[in-house]
Chains A and B, each alone.
Chain A
Amino acid sequence: MSATETTEEISVRVGTICDGLAGLEGPLLPILHEVQEEFGFIPEGALQTIAKKLNLSRAEVHGVASFYHDFREEKPGRHVIKICRAEACQSMGADDLSDHAKRKLKVDWSETTSDQNVTLEPVFCLGLCACAPAAMVDGKVIGRVSKDRLDRILSEVES
């Protein structure tokens, strides 16, 4: 998306997504997912369009979008690194790994590095509990993540 996209342009693109999915039973979540897929986040301007298409209030759509951890209000970094914080991963050192990542990237959870390169997100279970600790880098799952392995991943996404 270009930084100069107008609300009107956003509205057209979101409207097309809505038209494609409005026939589903309970279309709001699939629509929000697709909008986020398209823009990388849920633009403020999208809410009104979705509301209109689904005959809901803008507040209702905002209420739903803000309830779920997945939906972002801001554009993420070029890479998204998720580290599992759940118990199975904790038992294998996930807390240390998270601290290490935060220190290296100089961010806290759900923040993006100042160069807009990496967003660090917590995740509670990737179903990789027998190969803990686990992480997901740009949608790709990684098991038994050591600090060294994380460093290699970070240098790869930085190059």
Chain B
Amino acid sequence: MTVKIYVPLDSGSVALGADEVATAIAATAAKRGEDVQIVRNGSFGMYWLEPMVEVETSRGRLAYGPVAVEDVDSLFDAGFLNGSDHKRYLGHTQDIPFLKAQTRLTFQRCGIIDPVSLDDYRANDGLKGLENALKMTSEDIVKAVTDSGLRGRGGAGFPTGIKWNTVRQAPGDQKYIVCNADEGDSGTFADRMIMEGEPFVLIEGMIIAGLATGATKGYVYTRSEYPDAIRIMNEAIEVARANKLLGPKVLGSDYAFDMEVRMGAGAYVCGEETSLLNSMEGKRGVVRAKPPLPALEGFMARPTVVNNVISLCSVPVILEKGAEYYRDFGMGRSRGTIPIQIAGNVKHGGLYETAFGLTLGEIVDQIGGGTASGRPVKAVQVGGPLGAYFPRELFDTPFDYEAFAKADGLIGHAGVVVFDDSVDMMKQARFAMEFCAIESCGKCTPCRIGSTRGTEVVDKIARGEDPEMQKELLADLCETMKFGSLCALGGFTPYPVMSALTHFPDDFRPHALDIAAE
């Protein structure tokens, strides 16, 4: 009988050797005359166990990891095709504590299915949300999303239903759904993972958004740094077309929707929705002043929904199980689940989807298991390069949009980057300014010039040139950038800079910064 073996195709897993492991398993099986079928699935997001190989046995799916090419022979010797014990044996995949403790609504099939098999997707309750939506009016779909409390998962946390309603009511014979998959924040990889591991849920979410707003065309704008995600999304779109999920008659209805993938070109600012729209139109990715809102004048000056990947991927489950089901997870005004990405210097790095409300300390110390280096945690940056650095003293902050804002931070796209005590916070503050200078679109002065001046001011502090005065100047500069910039790039750069200065003042004493030669 053919034994099914799962080896992830997720680029995180591939980066750790999954392709070589898959090849070795196939070769070894052939040599030993074993009948195996290798399925390349998505990742469950437990990167310290990747590449994680699973075997389908009569007892269910059993996991082994992290598997290196050198382990393959001994796995066969030990009889892993029957689920036998081995030093890499992890037990039932779903019982691995890190996975078992999660609430996976958005990522429910990621890792389980073959990403480009629509049959697998359907067999695991895929398309149920869309089937329900096809029986509803656009008004009712928008109402369900509004009632669910879903907010943008890209950073700003704007209520998704309200945005959809604006587009639904906007006049226009052509409307668009644009999926912002320009996941440029360090520490974030949820978009990449779900596009590589479960692309149909994004396609389904985009079709539902189209139904709700009257849009018939969708675009996924993603990054050139994600070649694997682009390849898999394109493959899934072709499968969807071949199966009439996309096209002039979606699932046999009178409704038309089609979509394509667009690739960015290495500009971080294009993750900002108006820069993204300019970039899609073939212009320089500079920000647009708002108003007009993209909901009214977006892509090609037509009404456009711009949503993050995870927002759109959360929609199918809301339409499948109802607004209340989703809303009942979470705390305060932060409803539903959030895929937290635990990264950097951390023992158990990976994706952890759960309801809002865990404290930062629980995420870092308990779930993440502390640092990979074994040294004490010094700082945690939440929300990407524009997010604040949190010291241990703020570890009781609950993961909730409002609570983070109250602590002068932001959740952003929910990336959590852990640093041990070897980090130099003045260097991190300098990097934030430098990054802003490199990536500024140049349209507004506070961002374009403020970031370069900011880098210089930090260098003066490091050299001991009137440091106290320079610190005041830095704070003043940050204030100007925060309130004078057109978009979040200049406006949020003060978060990492000021949080470093406020919480780690000892690092802002004059000392040589170990800066890589520019």
Partner-B contacts on A (CB < 8 A): 25-30, 32-33, 54, 63-64, 67-71, 86-92, 95, 98-99, 102, 108-109, 123-132, 134, 136, 139, 141-144
Q: In whole angstroms, what is the CA distance A53 to B26 when docked?
A: 49
A-B contact pairs, 21 of them (CB 8 A): A25-B300, A26-B262, A29-B280, A87-B186, A87-B344, A90-B431, A91-B423, A95-B516, A99-B517, A109-B518, A123-B266, A124-B385, A125-B188, A126-B11, A126-B225, A127-B192, A127-B229, A129-B189, A129-B417, A131-B15, A141-B14
Q: Is the CB of B344 within 8 A of A88?
A: yes
If A33-B265, A127-B226, A130-B350 touch, whether A88 touches B184 (CB-CB below 8 Å) is no
Q: Is the CB of A28 within 8 A of B282?
A: yes
For B429-451 the 0/1 string (1 means CB < 8 A from A) is 00100010001010000000000
Q: Is the CB of A130 within 8 A of B282?
A: no
Q: Is the CB of B283 within 8 A of A128?
A: no
Q: Is the CB of B228 within 8 A of A92?
A: no
Q: Is the CB of B417 within 8 A of A88?
A: yes
Q: Is the CB of B385 within 8 A of A129?
A: no
Of A69, A109, A127, A132, the contact of B344 (CB 8 Å cutoff): A132
If A87-B385, A127-B226 touch, whether A92 touches B262 (CB-CB below 8 Å) is no
Q: Is the CB of B514 within 8 A of A143?
A: no
Report the minimum CB–CB distance from B88 to chain A (whole Å): 17
Most buried by B among A88, A95, A98: A88
If A91-B420, A92-B345 touch, whether A127 touches B183 (CB-CB below 8 Å) is yes
Q: What are the residues of chain A within 8 A of B381 when measuring CB–CB?
A: 87
Partner-A contacts on B (CB < 8 A): 11-12, 14-16, 45, 47-48, 50, 183-189, 191-193, 224-229, 262-268, 279-286, 299-300, 341-346, 349-351, 372, 381, 385, 415, 417-420, 423, 428, 431, 435, 439, 441, 514, 516-518
Q: Is the CB of A125 within 8 A of B285?
A: no
Q: In whole angstroms, what is the CA distance A141 to B361 when docked?
A: 31
Q: Is the CB of B265 within 8 A of A29?
A: yes
Shortest Cβ distance from A69 into B: residue: B266
Of B47, B265, B417, the contact of A70 (CB 8 Å cutoff): B265
Most buried by A among B284, B417, B517: B417
Of A30, A67, A129, A142, the contact of B267 (CB 8 Å cutoff): A67
If A25-B300, A68-B266, A92-B372 touch, whether A124 touches B186 (CB-CB below 8 Å) is yes
If A27-B282, A68-B267, A68-B285 touch, whether A88 touches B517 (CB-CB below 8 Å) is no
Of B47, B268, B514, the contact of A131 (CB 8 Å cutoff): B47
Q: In whole angstroms, what is the CA distance A124 to B193 when docked?
A: 18
Q: In whole angstroms, what is the CA distance A26 to B291 when docked?
A: 22
Q: Is the CB of A124 within 8 A of B344?
A: no
Shortest Cβ distance from A95 into B: residue: B516
Q: Is the CB of B345 within 8 A of A91?
A: yes
Report the minimum CB–CB distance from B391 to chain A (whole Å): 15
Q: In whole angstroms, what is the CA distance A91 to B184 when docked?
A: 17
Shortest Cβ distance from B43 into A: residue: A130
Q: In whole angstroms, what is the CA distance A95 to B264 when docked?
A: 26
If A141-B14, A142-B15 touch, whether A87 touches B431 (CB-CB below 8 Å) is yes
Q: In whole angstroms, what is the CA distance A67 to B224 when docked?
A: 15
Q: Is the CB of A130 within 8 A of B349?
A: yes
Of B189, B283, B417, the contact of A127 (CB 8 Å cutoff): B189
Q: Is the CB of B263 within 8 A of A124?
A: no
Most buried by A among B191, B286, B346: B346
Of A27, A88, A95, A98, the contact of B187 (CB 8 Å cutoff): A88
Q: Is the CB of A26 within 8 A of B280?
A: yes
Q: What are the residues of chain A within 8 A of B439 when measuring CB–CB?
A: 124
Q: Is the CB of A141 within 8 A of B228?
A: yes
Known A99-B517, A144-B15; 18 more pairs at CB < 8 Å = A64-B284, A69-B266, A87-B344, A91-B344, A91-B419, A99-B516, A102-B517, A108-B518, A109-B518, A124-B184, A124-B268, A126-B11, A127-B12, A129-B343, A130-B48, A130-B350, A131-B12, A131-B15
Q: In whole angstroms, what is the CA distance A133 to B189 when docked?
A: 14
Q: What are the residues of chain B within 8 A of A136 when measuring CB–CB?
A: 225
Q: Is the CB of B417 within 8 A of A68?
A: no
Q: Is the CB of A91 within 8 A of B282?
A: no
Report the minimum CB–CB distance from A110 to chain B (whole Å): 11
Q: In whole angstroms, what is the CA distance A64 to B262 when docked?
A: 16
Most buried by A among B183, B193, B345: B345
Report the minimum CB–CB distance from B425 to chain A (whole Å): 12
Q: Is the CB of A124 within 8 A of B189?
A: no
Q: Is the CB of A29 within 8 A of B417?
A: no
Report the minimum CB–CB distance from B282 to chain A (whole Å): 3
Q: Is the CB of A86 within 8 A of B385?
A: yes
Q: What are the residues of chain B within 8 A of A95 when measuring CB–CB?
A: 514, 516
Report the minimum CB–CB distance from A57 to chain B (whole Å): 13
Shortest Cβ distance from A86 into B: residue: B186
Q: In whole angstroms, what is the CA distance A32 to B186 when docked?
A: 26
Shortest Cβ distance from B184 into A: residue: A125
Q: In whole angstroms, what is the CA distance A95 to B262 when docked?
A: 31
Q: What are the residues of chain B within 8 A of A30 when measuring CB–CB?
A: 262-263
Q: What are the residues of chain B within 8 A of A102 when measuring CB–CB?
A: 516-517
Of B186, B193, B265, B283, the contact of A88 (CB 8 Å cutoff): B186
Q: In whole angstroms, what is the CA distance A144 to B343 when docked?
A: 12
Q: Is the CB of B15 within 8 A of A132?
A: no
Q: What are the residues of chain B within 8 A of A142 when measuring CB–CB?
A: 15
Q: In whole angstroms, what is the CA distance A90 to B186 when docked?
A: 10
Report the minimum CB–CB distance from B216 to chain A (whole Å): 13
Of A32, A68, A87, the contact of B428 (CB 8 Å cutoff): A87
Report the minimum CB–CB distance from B217 to chain A (whole Å): 8
Q: Is the CB of B262 within 8 A of A29?
A: yes
Q: Is the CB of B266 within 8 A of A134?
A: no
